Amino acid sequence: MTRTRSARRTAGRALLASTLLAAAVAVPVAVPAATAAPREASAGATVRDETSTRESRLVDDFYSAYVDAVAAEDGGDLATALRGFYLTPGLRARLADWEAAHHADGVLLAQDVPVEHRVTPGHSGAGHTWSTVRLTWGSPEDPAYTYLTVRSDLATGKISAIRDGE
């Protein structure tokens, strides 16, 4: 089979784009010490046990990478790419509206960046599964917590809703 130059170029570009997206999702972002407190390796440990689901692990992966990206000084492009990969188009549109009205980050439902997160798998039904995301704010000596309820689609694994968990 003979390939034309443009077919090779298109295939090469597609491979490059998929490799860059995979690298952006898989490689943690270096966070300057002045912008974020270091997180312990066990921050997402609850989601790795036998009761965790593929979707709750994806929620944990997303929040791990997303928090690092928004904490980084130049992580805006990575945060946008992560939203594009992990969130449904409908959720991205709803988040844009919410963020315009509240002047805050719709994924975190906050203006600041948490120092840690923990994902706990929840129940499933009607083609969706729910996870609880606990965001930790403040210092280790005086932590404060907020909770988010995150819905994922079972068919795609994509996050389709984020709401205040309280």
Q: Rounded to two decimals, what is the model's pTM? A: 0.69
CA distance 121 to 77: 29
Q: What angle do CA 10, 14, 19 make, to 5 degrees?
A: 150
Q: Which of 32-36, 57-61, 143-147, 160-164 has the lowest mean pLDDT?
A: 32-36
Q: Which residues pair with 139 in a beta bridge?
A: none
Q: Decide if pLDDT at 27 tops 70.
A: no
